[in-house]
Amino acid sequence: MIVETESVVLHAIDYGDTSKIVTLYTQRYGKIKVIAKGVRSQKNKFGSSLEPMTISSVVLYKKEQRDLHLLSKSEIRIPLSKLQSDAERMFTSLALVELVNMVMHDEEENGVIYALLTEALQTIDASSRNRVNVLLSFMLKLFTQFGFGIRLDHCSVCNRPVHDGDISYASLRLSDGSLVCSQCGGGSGAAGVKIEGGILKSLHYLQHAEINRAPVLSIDRAAVDTLLTIVQSYLQYHSEGSRTLKSLSLLFSQNDGPKKLRPI
Protein backbone atom coordinates (compact mmCIF):
# COMPACT_ATOMS: atom_id res chain seq x y z
CA MET A 1 0.00 0.00 0.00
CA ILE A 2 1.04 3.61 -0.57
CA VAL A 3 1.52 5.53 2.70
CA GLU A 4 2.71 8.99 3.65
CA THR A 5 4.39 9.99 6.90
CA GLU A 6 6.84 12.41 8.45
CA SER A 7 10.27 11.01 9.27
CA VAL A 8 13.78 11.68 10.52
CA VAL A 9 16.62 10.23 8.49
CA LEU A 10 18.78 8.11 10.79
CA HIS A 11 21.25 6.45 8.42
CA ALA A 12 21.93 5.86 4.74
CA ILE A 13 24.22 3.47 2.86
CA ASP A 14 24.98 3.13 -0.84
CA TYR A 15 23.22 0.34 -2.71
CA GLY A 16 24.12 -0.65 -6.25
CA ASP A 17 25.35 2.02 -8.64
CA THR A 18 22.79 4.77 -8.03
CA SER A 19 20.60 3.87 -5.05
CA LYS A 20 20.70 4.02 -1.25
CA ILE A 21 19.14 2.07 1.57
CA VAL A 22 17.88 4.64 4.06
CA THR A 23 16.83 4.06 7.67
CA LEU A 24 14.01 6.35 8.76
CA TYR A 25 12.36 6.94 12.09
CA THR A 26 8.80 7.72 11.10
CA GLN A 27 5.91 9.30 12.93
CA ARG A 28 3.43 6.59 11.92
CA TYR A 29 5.47 3.38 11.64
CA GLY A 30 8.52 3.73 13.86
CA LYS A 31 11.88 2.71 12.42
CA ILE A 32 11.80 1.41 8.86
CA LYS A 33 14.21 0.88 5.98
CA VAL A 34 13.52 2.05 2.45
CA ILE A 35 15.33 1.82 -0.85
CA ALA A 36 15.71 5.13 -2.66
CA LYS A 37 16.33 4.32 -6.30
CA GLY A 38 18.36 6.78 -8.33
CA VAL A 39 19.22 9.01 -5.39
CA ARG A 40 22.91 9.01 -6.41
CA SER A 41 22.24 9.66 -10.10
CA GLN A 42 22.23 12.97 -11.96
CA LYS A 43 18.42 12.76 -12.11
CA ASN A 44 18.06 12.51 -8.33
CA LYS A 45 14.48 13.49 -7.48
CA PHE A 46 14.96 13.43 -3.70
CA GLY A 47 17.38 16.34 -3.38
CA SER A 48 18.99 16.55 0.07
CA SER A 49 15.93 15.20 1.89
CA LEU A 50 17.61 11.84 2.62
CA GLU A 51 20.69 13.17 4.40
CA PRO A 52 21.05 11.99 8.04
CA MET A 53 19.38 14.28 10.61
CA THR A 54 16.89 15.62 8.04
CA ILE A 55 13.20 15.93 8.94
CA SER A 56 11.34 14.91 5.79
CA SER A 57 7.89 14.03 4.49
CA VAL A 58 8.00 10.72 2.64
CA VAL A 59 5.71 8.63 0.44
CA LEU A 60 6.52 4.94 0.16
CA TYR A 61 5.19 1.64 -1.03
CA LYS A 62 4.90 -0.31 2.21
CA LYS A 63 4.55 -4.06 1.94
CA GLU A 64 3.47 -6.16 4.89
CA GLN A 65 5.94 -8.78 6.12
CA ARG A 66 8.78 -7.03 4.27
CA ASP A 67 11.84 -5.45 5.88
CA LEU A 68 12.64 -3.12 2.98
CA HIS A 69 10.13 -0.75 1.39
CA LEU A 70 10.30 1.30 -1.81
CA LEU A 71 10.56 5.06 -1.41
CA SER A 72 8.52 7.01 -3.95
CA LYS A 73 8.84 10.62 -2.80
CA SER A 74 10.74 12.59 -0.18
CA GLU A 75 11.00 16.29 0.55
CA ILE A 76 12.33 18.31 3.45
CA ARG A 77 9.59 18.98 5.99
CA ILE A 78 11.41 21.25 8.45
CA PRO A 79 14.64 22.91 7.25
CA LEU A 80 17.55 22.65 9.70
CA SER A 81 20.07 24.93 8.05
CA LYS A 82 22.59 25.20 10.90
CA LEU A 83 23.10 21.57 11.94
CA GLN A 84 26.31 21.23 9.95
CA SER A 85 27.60 24.73 10.65
CA ASP A 86 29.88 23.66 13.54
CA ALA A 87 31.21 20.49 15.15
CA GLU A 88 29.09 20.63 18.31
CA ARG A 89 25.81 20.97 16.42
CA MET A 90 26.69 18.32 13.87
CA PHE A 91 28.08 15.61 16.14
CA THR A 92 25.45 16.13 18.85
CA SER A 93 22.73 15.73 16.19
CA LEU A 94 24.49 12.69 14.77
CA ALA A 95 24.61 11.22 18.29
CA LEU A 96 20.84 11.69 18.57
CA VAL A 97 20.04 9.80 15.37
CA GLU A 98 22.73 7.19 16.14
CA LEU A 99 21.07 6.60 19.52
CA VAL A 100 17.57 6.23 18.06
CA ASN A 101 18.84 3.90 15.35
CA MET A 102 20.61 1.80 17.98
CA VAL A 103 17.85 1.39 20.55
CA MET A 104 14.56 1.47 18.64
CA HIS A 105 13.14 -1.75 17.23
CA ASP A 106 11.84 -1.95 13.67
CA GLU A 107 8.28 -0.82 13.00
CA GLU A 108 7.31 0.03 16.57
CA GLU A 109 5.38 3.28 16.45
CA ASN A 110 6.07 5.74 19.28
CA GLY A 111 4.72 9.20 18.63
CA VAL A 112 6.17 10.61 21.87
CA ILE A 113 9.73 9.60 20.98
CA TYR A 114 9.28 10.91 17.43
CA ALA A 115 8.12 14.27 18.81
CA LEU A 116 11.03 14.40 21.28
CA LEU A 117 13.51 13.60 18.49
CA THR A 118 12.25 16.30 16.13
CA GLU A 119 12.10 18.84 18.96
CA ALA A 120 15.66 17.96 19.96
CA LEU A 121 17.00 18.41 16.41
CA GLN A 122 15.23 21.76 16.05
CA THR A 123 16.56 22.92 19.43
CA ILE A 124 20.14 22.01 18.51
CA ASP A 125 19.75 23.83 15.21
CA ALA A 126 18.43 26.98 16.89
CA SER A 127 20.62 27.10 20.02
CA SER A 128 23.82 29.09 20.20
CA ARG A 129 25.33 27.16 23.14
CA ASN A 130 25.15 24.07 25.36
CA ARG A 131 23.76 21.81 22.64
CA VAL A 132 25.03 18.62 24.27
CA ASN A 133 22.50 19.35 27.03
CA VAL A 134 19.78 18.57 24.47
CA LEU A 135 21.15 15.06 23.96
CA LEU A 136 21.31 14.51 27.72
CA SER A 137 17.74 15.70 28.19
CA PHE A 138 16.55 13.51 25.33
CA MET A 139 18.25 10.43 26.81
CA LEU A 140 16.74 10.98 30.25
CA LYS A 141 13.27 11.34 28.72
CA LEU A 142 13.91 8.28 26.55
CA PHE A 143 14.59 6.20 29.68
CA THR A 144 11.20 7.21 31.06
CA GLN A 145 9.48 6.23 27.81
CA PHE A 146 11.20 2.85 27.94
CA GLY A 147 9.98 2.25 31.49
CA PHE A 148 13.28 2.50 33.36
CA GLY A 149 13.46 6.22 34.12
CA ILE A 150 15.90 7.44 36.74
CA ARG A 151 14.09 8.51 39.92
CA LEU A 152 15.90 11.72 40.79
CA ASP A 153 13.51 13.37 43.21
CA HIS A 154 14.00 11.55 46.51
CA CYS A 155 16.25 9.15 48.34
CA SER A 156 14.72 5.69 48.00
CA VAL A 157 15.53 4.94 51.67
CA CYS A 158 14.57 8.07 53.65
CA ASN A 159 12.50 9.88 50.97
CA ARG A 160 14.52 13.06 51.43
CA PRO A 161 14.88 15.34 48.35
CA VAL A 162 18.36 14.82 46.92
CA HIS A 163 18.60 17.65 44.39
CA ASP A 164 17.87 20.72 46.52
CA GLY A 165 21.49 21.49 47.42
CA ASP A 166 21.54 20.00 50.92
CA ILE A 167 22.90 16.62 49.80
CA SER A 168 26.61 16.53 48.97
CA TYR A 169 26.29 13.34 46.97
CA ALA A 170 24.07 10.32 46.36
CA SER A 171 24.36 6.94 44.74
CA LEU A 172 22.50 5.85 41.62
CA ARG A 173 21.50 2.20 41.49
CA LEU A 174 21.87 1.16 37.88
CA SER A 175 19.57 -1.80 38.42
CA ASP A 176 16.41 0.24 39.12
CA GLY A 177 17.30 3.93 38.71
CA SER A 178 16.76 4.76 42.38
CA LEU A 179 18.93 7.08 44.47
CA VAL A 180 20.39 6.60 47.94
CA CYS A 181 21.52 9.79 49.69
CA SER A 182 24.84 10.16 51.46
CA GLN A 183 23.21 9.95 54.89
CA CYS A 184 21.72 6.56 54.02
CA GLY A 185 24.97 5.10 52.73
CA GLY A 186 24.97 6.54 49.23
CA GLY A 187 28.74 6.54 49.00
CA SER A 188 29.20 2.80 49.26
CA GLY A 189 30.26 0.96 46.13
CA ALA A 190 27.63 -1.70 46.67
CA ALA A 191 24.85 0.89 46.54
CA GLY A 192 25.65 2.08 43.02
CA VAL A 193 27.38 4.95 41.22
CA LYS A 194 28.38 7.94 43.34
CA ILE A 195 27.06 11.26 41.97
CA GLU A 196 28.05 14.64 43.39
CA GLY A 197 25.35 17.10 44.39
CA GLY A 198 25.95 19.52 41.49
CA ILE A 199 25.66 16.72 38.97
CA LEU A 200 22.41 15.59 40.62
CA LYS A 201 20.94 19.07 40.25
CA SER A 202 21.91 19.14 36.57
CA LEU A 203 20.41 15.69 35.96
CA HIS A 204 17.20 16.72 37.70
CA TYR A 205 16.89 19.90 35.62
CA LEU A 206 17.58 18.12 32.31
CA GLN A 207 15.11 15.35 33.11
CA HIS A 208 12.23 17.66 34.02
CA ALA A 209 12.76 20.70 31.78
CA GLU A 210 11.34 20.86 28.27
CA ILE A 211 13.96 19.90 25.69
CA ASN A 212 13.99 23.41 24.24
CA ARG A 213 15.03 24.71 27.69
CA ALA A 214 18.00 22.34 28.05
CA PRO A 215 20.56 24.76 26.53
CA VAL A 216 19.74 27.33 29.24
CA LEU A 217 21.72 25.30 31.77
CA SER A 218 25.46 26.04 31.75
CA ILE A 219 27.59 22.99 32.62
CA ASP A 220 31.39 22.87 32.51
CA ARG A 221 33.19 20.35 30.34
CA ALA A 222 34.16 18.03 33.20
CA ALA A 223 30.55 17.88 34.40
CA VAL A 224 29.33 17.18 30.85
CA ASP A 225 31.77 14.27 30.63
CA THR A 226 30.45 12.89 33.92
CA LEU A 227 26.81 13.30 32.90
CA LEU A 228 27.37 11.59 29.55
CA THR A 229 29.20 8.72 31.22
CA ILE A 230 26.36 8.24 33.71
CA VAL A 231 23.54 8.23 31.15
CA GLN A 232 25.41 6.01 28.69
CA SER A 233 26.32 3.54 31.43
CA TYR A 234 22.69 3.49 32.55
CA LEU A 235 21.51 2.91 28.99
CA GLN A 236 24.00 0.08 28.47
CA TYR A 237 22.82 -1.58 31.68
CA HIS A 238 19.19 -1.57 30.57
CA SER A 239 19.34 -1.85 26.78
CA GLU A 240 20.98 -4.95 25.36
CA GLY A 241 23.40 -4.20 22.56
CA SER A 242 23.82 -0.53 23.45
CA ARG A 243 27.28 0.96 23.13
CA THR A 244 29.10 4.24 23.61
CA LEU A 245 27.93 6.68 20.96
CA LYS A 246 30.64 7.05 18.33
CA SER A 247 29.49 10.54 17.36
CA LEU A 248 30.30 11.83 20.85
CA SER A 249 33.83 10.52 20.62
CA LEU A 250 34.18 12.41 17.33
CA LEU A 251 32.83 15.57 18.96
CA PHE A 252 35.28 15.46 21.84
CA SER A 253 38.21 14.65 19.55
CA GLN A 254 37.85 18.05 17.88
CA ASN A 255 39.70 19.85 20.67
CA ASP A 256 41.41 17.24 22.80
CA GLY A 257 42.42 14.46 20.46
CA PRO A 258 40.74 11.07 20.45
CA LYS A 259 38.91 10.47 23.69
CA LYS A 260 36.81 7.52 24.77
CA LEU A 261 34.17 7.99 27.42
CA ARG A 262 35.07 5.71 30.29
CA PRO A 263 32.33 3.47 31.65
CA ILE A 264 31.66 3.85 35.36
pLDDT digits (tens, 9 = 90+) for 176-187: 999 998 888 755
- Residues 174 and 177: their CA atoms lie apart, in Å, by 5
What topology does CATH give the domain 82-258?
A: de novo design (two linked rop proteins) (1.20.1440)
pLDDT of residue 97: 97
What pLDDT does residue 192 have?
75
Residue 125 has pLDDT above 60, yes or no: yes
Task: Please report the pLDDT score of residue 220 as a whole number.
Answer: 92
pLDDT of 121 > 80? The answer is yes
The predicted model scores a pTM of: 0.91
The confidence band for 258, taking pLDDT boundaries of 50, 70 and 90, is very low
Rounded to the nearest 5°, which phi and psi values hold at 148? -130, 45
Domain ranges in the chain are: 1-79, 82-258
- CATH fold, domain 1-79, is OB fold (Dihydrolipoamide Acetyltransferase, E2P) (2.40.50)
Band (58; pLDDT cuts 50, 70, 90): very high
CB 56 within 8 A of CB 6: yes
Backbone angles phi, psi at 149, to 5 degrees: -65, 150
Average pLDDT, the chain: 89
**pLDDT band with cut points at 50, 70 and 90 for residue 3:** very high
Cα dihedral value 241, 244, 246, 249, nearest 10: -170
